[in-house]
Amino acid sequence: MQSDTVLVTGACGQIGTELVLALRKIYNNVIASDLKDATGELQDGPFERLDVLHRPGLNDLVKKHKVTQIYHLAAILSATGEKNPEFAWRVNMKGLRNILDVSMENNLSKVFFPSTIAVFGPTTPKVNTPQYTVMEPNTIYGISKQAGERWADYYFQKKGLDIRSIRYPGLISYKTKAGGGTTDYAVDIYFEANEKKSYECFLKEDTALPMMYMPDAIRGTIALMEAPADKIRIRSAYNFSGMSFAPKDVAAEIVKHMPDFKITYKPDFRQSIAESWPQSIDDSYAQQDWGWKPDFDLAKMTTDMLANAR
């Protein structure tokens, strides 16, 4: 067990509920925090109510627990962000600035800040999107995360903060439902397949997007954070790839297990968000710098999701 004290913000969300449990296997003291109350296994360790927009509260909590690392997950995702852009900008930007400043003031050893494929936009090359390319995001979520990447790099370059980041693709999991993103269909489809043997998809059938199964995302996040600092060449955010598929591909995979499963399509405002994002990601920097390699493909993930998404 390592002796660092780790704070996780936004711990009640889709990633946090699984990341906290994984971190508690490595670190003696992992404090989960969120606006909401803890539920389920999160209650088995320390938990604090924390609004990341309240800087004095964040600072007090860091001092009280002698926090040495922060995983800053709290944010507003793409689809929810488009419904209230001002609010999303405030949570994503002011929340991150508070984390960065409190981390500097308290001499934290490491900070994790998740970025996203949403930092890319309609003018970005869509297939095998490179690490360094045109980035003109057109959602408030993407704009805030791209600005966040620049702040992260700035704090590393100018202030020496050891901050690390990944551009997560759409994440698929069954422990906690997805929290208001454009890729949420790829979670919901498995729950509804098990409940009703049918699903109405809010994206068109051939909308390919980069995706990843949660066990890979958790393993990759911890690998990045555990890598020696001199291996981390990128301090904005690493491209990070698992698999790539469209709704019709998931449906075809589900039909292999459930021959009477039916999918229908009723695209909504999330279609144009999805169309502005890459279809697949080139993550060769993550492979070279800290040895990234995913375990799960669509077939292996579908078997596991259908067994557990209930």
Q: How many residues bind ligand NAD (CB under 6 A)?
A: 30
Q: Say whether 174 is catalytic.
A: no
Q: What is the CA radius of gyration of the chain?
A: 19
Q: Pick from 30, 74, 161, 286: which binds ligand NAD (CB under 6 A)?
A: 74
- Is 14 a binder of ligand NAD (CB under 6 A)? yes
Catalytic site residue from 71, 141, 174, 238: 141
Site residues (vs ligand SER, CB under 6 A) = 77-78, 116-118, 141, 170, 181-183
Q: Is 148 in the site for ligand NAD (CB under 6 A)?
A: no
Residue nearest to ligand SER (CB): 181
Q: How far apart are CA 310 and CA 300, in angstroms?
A: 18
Long-range contacts, 150-154 (Cβ 8 Å, 24+): 150/236, 151/96, 151/97, 151/100, 152/100, 152/113, 152/235, 152/236, 152/237, 153/235, 153/236
Mapping DSSP onto H, E and C, the string for 48-114 reads: EECCCCCHHHHHHHHHHHCCCEEEECCCCCHHHHHHCHHHHHHHHHHHHHHHHHHHHHCCCCEEECC
Query: Residue 197 interacts with ligand NAD (CB under 6 A)?
Result: no
Interface residue with ligand NAD, options 168, 174, 292, 296 (CB under 6 A) = 168
Q: Which residue has the tokens 């980035």?
A: 135
Q: How far is the CB of 72 from ligand NAD (least distance, A)?
A: 7
- Closest approach, Cβ 3 to ligand NAD, in A, equals 26
Binding site for ligand NAD (CB under 6 A): 9-10, 12-16, 34-36, 50-53, 73-75, 77, 91, 95, 114, 116, 168, 170-171, 178-181, 183
Which residues form the catalytic set?
141
